[in-house]
Every structure is written in C-alpha cells, then in structure tokens.
Amino acid sequence: MNFKDKTILISGASRGIGKAAAIAFASKGAKVGINYRTQTIEAKKTLKELQGSGHQLFKRDISKKDEAKALITDFLQHYGKIDILVNNAGIAIPHKIEDVSFDAWSSAWETTLQTNLLAAANLSFLASQAMINSGGGHIVNVSSRGAFRGEPDQPAYGASKAGLNAMSQSLAKKLAPFKIYVGVVAPGFTETDMATETLSTSEQQKMLKELPLRRMAKPEEVAHAILFLASDEAAYSTGAIIDVNGASYLRS
C-alpha cells in the first residue's frame, strides 16, 4: 500500500488507534492531519513521531457542528485537497440504566451521539464535497464490536456505532459513482486509554480470560485494517465492515 503525497485527515489522532493510524500512514508517505480535542501535549508528541514531512495538528472539538466545519475548512486551506478521511474520534461514557439519573442518561446519549455519529456524518458530508470536486477519495469509519454484540452498560455507545455502520453502508452506495469509497473497521477491546479507563482492573482480568487470544488488540493491528480500506486496492471493498476483534464476537 502506497500513500505517497496523499492528504489524510484523522479525527482523534492524538492518542490510541488514531495515533497508530497516523504513524502508519506517515510511514507510507502520506501527509497526515492530526485532529484532537484537548490534549495538545499528547498531540505534539504524536506529531514528532511521524516519519516524513508536511504533517499538521488541528485542534477542534468535532462534536460541535461549527468546529467540524472549521476543521475541514482549515484542512483544505492547508493542503488544498482531502484524499482520505478517517472518522476515528470516539468516546464511551458509562450510563448503567439502574444507576444513573434521567439527566445523566440523556446527557450521555446526547454527547455520545454527537461525537461518535453526528460528527462523523458532518465531516463525511464536508469532506465528500471536496472529494467530488477532486475526483474521488476514501472515508474510513472506526466503529466497534459493540454495534453487533450490544453494550449493556453504555447503550448509547452501541447505538452510535450501529448508526455509524448504517451510515457508512448508505454512503458507500451513494458515493460510489463519485469514486468515493467508504469502509468500516470494527475493533474489539484495544490497548488504549478508552479500554483501560472504562474497565476496572478486575473487569479487565475477567475480559482477558474471555478473549480467544487472551489479549486485547494492539492499536497497530486496528490501524492495519484502516490502511487497507483507505488504499486504492480496496476500492471494491467499499461498504465492507472489517472486524478486528480476535474472534471474540463472530457474526454471520
């Protein structure tokens, strides 16, 4: 896979899976735009780790419609084109139905859907306008195994990722005539802050015993699938959802 001089915007690339994807794209010649929300120190560290030149930080809270728009405007002003959009930024807020107040419940739903689904919809709309003008592109959306197996303690998260899958497949059909290819990567537990922050140590130990490989995915293993779907070779895989969950949840 060769991404020489491709311009790539990755949401939520200061840490975790987005960071691993940024490193992998840069190692293959791409110019990477790293979006993040708050953690400038982490984002600067990530920027320093990228091979090659022409990479750039874009601090924007994409859950806010105006900031999502400004992100695409800034990116296009800087690079002149967008070849690949990776909608990776995501949050998981525990909201056990038996424990939380109604306000906490509805706030968790709103924040989760705004970040995990609506931001991806807005960025996909804005990026695809530019891609149509430049003759095509790729959109890769980072979903989750939770879309399929259910998320009992954070149902908004599962719903946001199921919505992301449905949106991706609708857009794959709609945008194919414009040579815009849309794919999804659906990871299981991955070694990032998200997995460690949402599970207690005892929950992590229990989870590891239940995984067929007895370990979480490495962010680089998820990044590998993202790069595949973003590659020119994957055009005919448009609409695909690739599981990266170590056989922990098998769907038919």
For the annotated catalytic residues, the residue numbers are 157
* CA 133, 76, 74, 67 torsion-angle sign: positive
Nearer to ligand NAP, 144 or 238 (CB): 144
Query: Closest separation between CB of residue 116 and ligand NAP, Å?
Result: 6
Tokens, residue 77 = 């002003």
Query: Closest separation between CB of residue 70 and ligand NAP, Å?
Result: 12
Nearer to ligand NAP, 44 or 179 (CB): 44
Query: Closest separation between CB of residue 179 and ligand NAP, Å?
Result: 26
What are the residues facing 186 on neighbouring strands? 243
SS (H, E, C) 182-221: EEEEEECCECCHHHHHHCCHHHHHHHHHHCCCCCCECHHH
Beta strands per DSSP E along the chain: 7-10, 31-36, 56-59, 84-87, 137-142, 180-187, 241-244
C-alpha to C-alpha distance for 67 and 72, rounded to whole angstroms = 9
Query: Closest separation between CB of residue 206 and ligand NAP, Å?
Result: 15
- Residue with token string 């929300």: 37
Q: Which residues bind ligand NAP (CB under 6 A)?
A: 11-18, 35-39, 42, 61-63, 88-91, 115, 142, 144, 187, 189-190, 192-195
